[in-house]
Amino acid sequence: MRDVRRYLIFEIISDNPVNYGDFVKAVWESLISFLGELGTSECKIWIIRNMYNENYQRGIIKCSHTRIEHLRIALSMIHNISELPVIIRVLGVTGTIKSARSKYFSGEENELQGNA
């Protein structure tokens, strides 16, 4: 049997843009300090790189369905990324990437295509 996954859609609120690498580092540090190494491994998170939009500061994190609340708490504990004050807001949780794109990223894709 496959593991059941959930996709958490987040938004970073900050004065300056946050790059992907700094965000990933902050998430891992927060998870490890909150849950420890064993708890972090049970979350089975995957921060999807090609779904992180640096212009809109939005992205998707894949997580085990039993640990989604732990991930929410760990994200809420992040207050600084590279000495930049931030707030990470969870926009929603979905069961598929397709539904996450249609609910939370459809406007961004249309706008980005119009500017290209």
Per the confidence metrics, is the pTM higher than 0.95? no
Q: What is the pLDDT of residue 58?
A: 93
Residue 3 pLDDT? 81
- pLDDT above 80: residue 2: no
Residue range 20-37, pLDDT digits in tens: 999 999 999 999 999 999
What is the predicted pLDDT for the residue at 109? 54
- Answer whether 93's CB lies under 8 Å from 10's CB: no
Please give the residue that has the higher pLDDT: either 22 or 116.
Answer: 22
- Does the pLDDT of residue 15 top 60, yes or no? yes
Distance between CA atoms of 93 and 109, rounded to whole angstroms?
A: 19
* Structure-token pair, residue 114: 């119009």
Q: What CATH fold (topology level) applies to the domain 5-115?
A: Alpha-Beta Plaits (3.30.70)
Say which residues have a Cβ less than 8 Å from residue 31's Cβ, sequence separation at least 6: 39, 40, 43, 45, 70, 71, 74
Residues near 73 by Cβ (< 8 Å), separated by ≥ 6? 34
With a cut of 60, say whether residue 13 has pLDDT above it.
Answer: yes
**Tens-place pLDDT, residues 54-113:** 888 999 999 999 999 999 999 999 999 999 999 999 999 999 999 998 998 876 654 444
